[in-house]
Structure 1
Amino acid sequence: MMDKELNIVEHLEELRKRLIISTVAFILFLVLGLVFVKNIYLFFMGDLGYKLMILGPSDIMWIYFHIATIVAVAGTIPVAAWQIWLFVKPALNPLERRTTLAYIPSMFFLFIGGLAFGYYFIFPNIMTFLVNLGKDLMTTSFTADKYFGFLINMTLPFGVAFEMPLVLTFLTTLGMVNPYKIVKLRKYTYLILVLIASMISPPEFISHISVAIPLILLYEISILLSKRVYRRKQKQKLVLNNGVKTDNIIL
């Protein structure tokens, strides 16, 4: 009983250590984002053609902080993934360690890819549609608060959503997820994704569809990759049961 309690305490101490390292990394990247926030701000302004307005002295701090937060999240993802891997490493066999280690750099690039997809494809298309909707009736002028709030809503969810295939295959590799059980929940998942799309996009049908379709496609890609990993794990178990070494199996 005492050994079991000590083991739990050791695991909690290890978890605490990994959380502290990830938190410190987030703070460092947040500071880095604040240092270069003006350059990032000008990049996100794109070809808007005019300066954004602010309605209060504190608005500019809100904008700077949110831009720096996105930078911090992007920079912390590989660090946090590495810490998670170190935490679960003792419970993995050598083959699982090599396989899961390959996911770490992919998490960062997928997050950046998701942000780029939202920024270069979803955001400009919806933005153009909404601006043209009242072009002949209204003068378009945005506050920095509204512009960047809209930009974040159009990009950040895709940065997170692009992690879905990797997270699902990672959990499948660890044996925590069975994709064939997830498939049975497909209709409920579709409903949830459509609801998410309606919450993060402007309140009109075209925007909802533009956001919902990529999310659903990502979900289906996640299922396909998870099934592939799951079948390979089943083959590995079969080979192990027959007394063949797994080192000869190609992932």
Structure 2
Amino acid sequence: MSTEQPAEETFISHLVELRDRLLKASIGVLIVTAVLMAWPGPTVLYDFLAQPMIDALPTGAKIIATGVTAPFLVPMKVTLMLGIILALPWVLYQAWAFVAPGLYTHEKRLVAPLVISSSLLFVAGVAFCYFFVFGRVFHFIATFAPSSIAVTPDIENYLDFVMSMCLAFGAAFEVPIVVVILVRMGIVSLAKLREWRPYVIVGAFVIAAIVTPPDVVSQFALAIPMWMLFELGLLVSPMFVRMTQAPAEKPES
């Protein structure tokens, strides 16, 4: 009985630590969201998010709201989504701080670069989707609308589409981080990943076909960056491995 008590106390302390980290991450998101609510405001943020679709619509057309509460709830959801994105470095820091006590000193050197690069890559993916992909996709789709159809997208459907696309591109831009972690943890060797390059390229196009609309523009816009970011991960992985090696470890030949 006495031998099990320390293990139980350790487990409980980990749960308490996890709760505290989740609470701190949530408070950070709420603070950023509250600031965005005050300035520039939900309506301004939604107008900015809707601009690529507005530019693709026929002259005078607008996005409509079919739900009674949609004009209020949708801008709020947009503000919360942006708050989560902007607070992502703080959220990732809390996640790394939770696992840091179980890491060696040389492994902790990887924490700051990964937190910073993960945040920047996710934001870069969302920005790439908004500034490069949305305008081309919406114009491409609008060209297929028959003249007998009035193109008036619903505000909620548009938000769902935008959120899914931003999440897909943000996650896809994390490919270098995944490669670095796989190599550093010894799960997959760098040589094996290079051998898998053709399968990775095919997989990128398959994933793009699943998560993007059925048009060539958006599929290529996601698949090609995933491939390029995979190659970037292969280039930077050896550097991260050298930075986080223990003194007794020897570099692979």
Give the TM-score range, shorter chain.
0.7 to 0.9
Answer yes or no: is the 8 Å Cα contact 1:34–1:64 preserved in 2.
no
Task: Tell me which residue corresponds to 2:145.
Answer: 134
User: Which of the residues 124, 133, 142 maps onto 1:122?
Assistant: 133
Secondary structure (helix, strand or coil) at the match of 1:240 reads coil
Equivalent-residue separation in structure 2 for 1:16 and 1:171 (angstroms) = 28
Shift of 1:38: 1.0
Equivalent-residue separation in structure 1 for 2:177 and 2:76 (angstroms) = 29
Q: Single out whichever of 37-46 and 64-73 deviates more from structure 2.
A: 64-73
Which structure ranks higher in relative contact order (CA pairs < 8 Å, sequence separation ≥ 6)?
2
Task: Tell me which residue corresponds to 1:240.
Answer: 248
Give the % identical residues. Answer: 25
Secondary structure (helix, strand or coil) at the match of 1:102 reads helix
Shift of 1:214: 2.0
Task: Tell me which residue corresponds to 1:9.
Answer: 12
Answer yes or no: is the 8 Å Cα contact 1:122–1:154 preserved in 2.
no
Length-normalised TM-score, structure 2: 0.76
Answer yes or no: is the 8 Å Cα contact 1:30–1:72 preserved in 2.
yes
Answer yes or no: is the 8 Å Cα contact 2:129–2:169 preserved in 1.
yes
What does the per-residue CA deviation read over 1:53-76, in whole Å, with 9 as the maximum and x for residues that have no partner?
111212224422431232132133
Length-normalised TM-score, structure 1: 0.77
Do structure 1's residue 149 and structure 2's residue 160 form an aligned pair?
yes
Q: Taking structure 1 as reference, are residues 66 and 194 closer, same or farther at Cα in structure 2, changes over 3 Å only?
A: farther
Q: Taking structure 1 as reference, are residues 102 and 45 closer, same or farther at Cα in structure 2, changes over 3 Å only?
A: same
Answer yes or no: is the 8 Å Cα contact 2:175–2:226 preserved in 1.
no
Whichever residue aligns with residue 220 of structure 2, its letter is I
Do structure 1's residue 25 and structure 2's residue 28 form an aligned pair?
yes
Equivalent-residue separation in structure 1 for 2:235 and 2:151 (angstroms) = 44
Equivalent-residue separation in structure 1 for 2:72 and 2:23 (angstroms) = 26
Task: Tell me which residue corresponds to 1:46.
Answer: 51
Alignment of 1:164-203 (within 5 A): 164-170=175-181, 172-173=183-184, 175=185, 177-180=187-190, 181-182=192-193, 189-190=200-201, 192-203=203-214
Q: Taking structure 1 as reference, are residues 192 and 34 closer, same or farther at Cα in structure 2, changes over 3 Å only?
A: farther
Q: Taking structure 1 as reference, are residues 54 and 192 closer, same or farther at Cα in structure 2, changes over 3 Å only?
A: same
Secondary structure (helix, strand or coil) at the match of 2:66 reads coil
Equivalent-residue separation in structure 2 for 1:51 and 1:205 (angstroms) = 26
Whichever residue aligns with residue 73 of structure 1, its letter is I
Whichever residue aligns with residue 198 of structure 1, its letter is A
Task: Tell me which residue corresponds to 2:113.
Answer: 102
Answer yes or no: is the 8 Å Cα contact 1:123–1:154 preserved in 2.
no
Equivalent-residue separation in structure 2 for 1:59 and 1:23 (angstroms) = 25
Task: Tell me which residue corresponds to 2:58.
Answer: none
Answer yes or no: is the 8 Å Cα contact 1:85–1:100 preserved in 2.
yes
Whichever residue aligns with residue 18 of structure 2, its letter is L
Do structure 1's residue 226 and structure 2's residue 227 form an aligned pair?
no
Shift of 1:182: 4.8
RMSD: 3.1
Q: Taking structure 1 as reference, are residues 160 and 65 closer, same or farther at Cα in structure 2, changes over 3 Å only?
A: farther
Whichever residue aligns with residue 113 of structure 1, its letter is A
Answer yes or no: is the 8 Å Cα contact 1:107–1:163 preserved in 2.
yes
Equivalent-residue separation in structure 1 for 2:176 and 2:122 (angstroms) = 11
Answer yes or no: is the 8 Å Cα contact 2:172–2:226 preserved in 1.
yes
